[in-house]
Amino acid sequence: MMRQYELVDRVRRYNPQTDEATLNRAYVYAMKAHGAQVRASGDPYFSHPLEVAAILTDMKLDDATIVAAVLHDTIEDTDSTREEIDRLFGADIGRLVDGLTKLKKLDLVSKRAVQAENFRKLLLAVAEDVRVLVVKLADRLHNMRTLDYVPQDKRTRIAEETLDIYAPLAGRMGMQSIRDELEDLAFRHLMPEAYAMIAARLADLRDKNGRIIATIESELAEELAAREITATVEGRQKQPYSVWHKMERKSIAFEQLSDIFGFRVVVPTVEDCYRVVGVVHTKWAVVPGRFKDYISTPKQNDYQSIHTTVVGPGRQRVELQVRTEEMHEIARFGIAAHALYKDHRVADRGTLTTESRAYQWLRRTINLLAEGDTPEEFLEHTKLELFHDQVFCFTPKGRLIALPRGATPIDFAYAVHTDVGNSAVGAKINGRHAPLVSQLQNGDEVEIACAEAQVPPAVWETVVITGKARSAIRRATRDARRAQYAGLGRQIVTRAFERASKPYSDEKLKSALPRLARTSIDDVLAAVGRGEMFSGDVVKAVYPEFMEERKASPPRPRGEAGWFGLKKAASLVFKVPGGEENPRSIPIRGLDGDLPVRFAPNGGAVPGDRIVGILTPGEGITIYPIQSPDLTQFDEEPDRWLDVRWDIEDGHRALFPARLALTAINEPGTLGMIATVIGDHGANIDNVVIRPLSADFRELVLDVEVYDLKHLTSIISHLRARPVVSKVERVNG
């Protein structure tokens, strides 16, 4: 375990002006707080925060971050409090430690929800101070290094979480060295056989090609020195997880990989980077399509380098990364490389500079995702944002938009602005009209066509791949549905006030909001529209002295005067002129003999439906639409299934049974309006069943007879357009 003086010495090596007194005080405080606690390995628990601090000293971080690392588990795992940390070490360090503390005693329903809420709290703390994230990643790295001592089930969960969240997050922040180690450690625990196989293959390859690598290094270094370019050249090998991931992603064998070995060239200036590329491309043949300039167009995590692949000595394909020393430092440590202590200045809150594009992205993403989503949605969207194999596209005005690979014009529209995404109706890619679900490629110019009053279809949520787009679509869909319910609720409430002979106004309702336990008028109206609140309660809240005379009546038996003001509503039959009540033959091809044929009792079937016949010995054949859930009961009896089709001509006048379920407002005239729509379409109502849902709503189950699926769809569409109808669905089984 690291001694007190060793911790101070590690910090003093890169920061001679370190506050030794604070470091010493933190060491002693944490050691006493953790006391006799031990880790799963049997080591003193205090060794863990010290190892986390050691990882951060390798990144040369400021005193406050190192102290926070030493104290990061004190609030969570000991009797220490935030107030005590603030008093002893200052509010800045207290804020960092609190951001790293998991929530306790959460009133949540699942382990996944606990994980999601903890992660949400972590990222919201990160948005305030990114040093929280740096400490958290170091904490996760040391936990992964000691994962062998954890029980197997917990080990698997931690490794999956690391691979899903923390490794990509480290990559997004440009901390590539931490990302690589986290991925490899998680890979080793999740797929030990695959890890062992790839590691063995890499070791064999390294032994076999060691001499070639040394030759390439020396030849490249000599060539650059001859051109008076000061450069450090070193060979590198892909990590096992990176090799496995590429094999899986591209569906290729180990032998087909051409970039297992690569070379990094580090030079003093940006000008030297391009001089190196000129030398390399002049001496060796370039592999087409393998040149990427991330200096002129940095990645979102601030990564900058020039990547190129050439056919080098011995006809060997050689991948080169060319960068400056500063770029190399940022590539290794990411946002941690922006720390102000490097200039030996006094570090105040917000140690990382605002120049970090990665941190700007993180704060922007968190602010977007924090708007009203559940913890689970937040976790889902953040995962989507973390995997960032990118494509770069342009607006017609030349603005660069970076998106994950596989992104669509819908993702592009939301990346430009949420309003652009919500109103998008079409797209042009490189000047040509293209579907909104097209996959974008590097260099595409994308133009989005918009329309006012457009609401994004809910199905878009399954198409887009960026968290911002998915969150915005879900929010817009939710708002549109809420507006629809609020409109219906306003209609119900207005009529309730009319029946009570009381004047209604939004101002009067606003004053009654506390009595209704709602924060806005729209909340009340939407609750009434959804059937969650009775309109009479709204009247009483506005006029407490009002005594409602009309009481909600219990369900009436069929045949009595009902809530629609019509007698025997449940047995009304509307006939088409010339309609017959006698049973008809059913025009279906594929049925022979004299077997009785009938339609499914729960919903029937109409021409236009795909249908099947189910044979019941001694009873005949029942016709079901293919989407009927009742068919599942016959899954284990394939011999009873018959292949049948409709055998009817266009313009036929035969009627076929279908069933509709409606939710409608409970007021006189509702059934008449519904019956008028069906009658105007030339359809029959064969039966009606009415069920009370609440004082304001009733459910109707209508058995109707229609010509075909198009006829039925038209009826449903016109019913949905009626103001008294809240919902209409076809019933199949």
CATH number of the domain within which 375 lies: 3.10.20.30
**Last-in-domain residue among 486, 510, 542:** 542
CATH number of the domain within which 720 lies: 3.30.70.260
Q: State the residue for tokens 């190892």.
A: 51
**In a domain? residue 672:** yes
- Residue 206 belongs to domain spanning: 195-336
**Spatial separation of the C-alpha atoms in residues 318 and 235, rounded to whole Å:** 10
Which of 350-368 are b and which e, b meaning 16 or more Cβ less than 10 Å from the residue's Cβ? ebbeeebbbbebbbebbeb
Active-site residues, by number, are 76-77
**In a domain? residue 345:** no
**In a domain? residue 135:** yes
CA angle 53, 59, 64 (to 5 degrees): 50
Q: For residue 722, is pLDDT > 60? A: yes
**Spatial separation of the C-alpha atoms in residues 378 and 364, rounded to whole Å:** 14
655/537 same-domain check: no
405/503 same-domain check: no
CATH number of the domain within which 279 lies: 3.30.460.10
Q: Using an 8 Å Cβ cutoff, are 593 and 608 in contact?
A: no
Q: Using an 8 Å Cβ cutoff, are 319 and 309 in contact?
A: yes
180/238 same-domain check: no
Would you state the structure tokens that stand for residue 170, as one six-digit string? 């480290």
**In a domain? residue 350:** no
Q: What is the mean pLDDT of residues 346-363?
A: 50
Q: For residue 508, is pLDDT > 70? A: yes
Residue 167: partners with Cβ closer than 8 Å, 6 or more residues away: 179, 182, 183, 186
**Last-in-domain residue among 471, 490, 511:** 471
**In a domain? residue 162:** yes
Please state the pTM of the whole predicted model: 0.53
Q: How high is the pLDDT of residue 356?
A: 61
Would you state the structure tokens that stand for residue 307, as one six-digit string? 């990547």
**How many Cβ atoms sit within 10 Å of the Cβ of residue 494?**
13
Q: Using an 8 Å Cβ cutoff, are 270 and 239 in contact?
A: no
234/94 same-domain check: no
Mind listing the pLDDT tens digit for each residue in 705-719? Answer: 998 888 998 999 889
The domain total for the chain is: 5
Mind listing the pLDDT tens digit for each residue in 131-148? Answer: 888 888 899 999 999 999
665/566 same-domain check: yes
Q: Please choose, from the candidates 443, 411, 406, the residue with its C-alpha nearest in 3D space to the C-alpha of residue 427.
A: 411
Q: List the single range of 238-247, 570-579, 697-706, 721-730 with lowest mean pLDDT.
A: 570-579
Instruction: Give the Å distances, CA to CA, from 709 to 609, 676, 702.
Output: 7, 20, 16
Confidence of residue 33 (pLDDT cuts 50, 70, 90): very high
Would you state the structure tokens that stand for residue 3, as one six-digit string? 């001694």
Mind listing the pLDDT tens digit for each residue in 204-251? Answer: 888 877 777 788 888 888 889 998 899 999 888 888 988 888 888 778
140/99 same-domain check: yes
524/654 same-domain check: no
Q: How high is the pLDDT of residue 579?
A: 37
Q: What is the mean pLDDT of residues 64-91?
A: 92
**In a domain? residue 349:** no
461/501 same-domain check: no
DSSP 601: T
33/165 same-domain check: yes
CATH number of the domain within which 130 lies: 1.10.3210.10
Q: For residue 421, is pLDDT > 70? A: yes
Confidence of residue 378 (pLDDT cuts 50, 70, 90): low
**Last-in-domain residue among 542, 569, 599:** 542
638/664 same-domain check: yes
Q: Please choose, from the candidates 458, 516, 456, the residue with its C-alpha nearest in 3D space to the C-alpha of residue 489.
A: 516
Confidence of residue 391 (pLDDT cuts 50, 70, 90): confident
Q: Looking at this protein, which amino acid is placed at residue 205?
A: L
The proportion of the chain whose per-residue pLDDT surpasses 90, expressed as a percent, equals 23
Residue 551: partners with Cβ closer than 8 Å, 6 or more residues away: none
**Spatial separation of the C-alpha atoms in residues 202 and 241, rounded to whole Å:** 11
**In a domain? residue 150:** yes
**In a domain? residue 17:** yes
576/723 same-domain check: yes
Q: How high is the pLDDT of residue 577?
A: 32
**Spatial separation of the C-alpha atoms in residues 670 and 569, rounded to whole Å:** 12
663/680 same-domain check: yes
Which residues on adjacent β-strands are paired with residue 449?
426
Q: What is the mean pLDDT of residues 326-339?
A: 75
Instruction: Please give the helix or strand (H or E) that residue 31 lies within, else none.
Output: helix 20-34
Residue 651: partners with Cβ closer than 8 Å, 6 or more residues away: none
How many helices, marked H, and strands, marked E, lie in the chain?
27, 21
CA 80 to chain CA centroid, Å, is 36
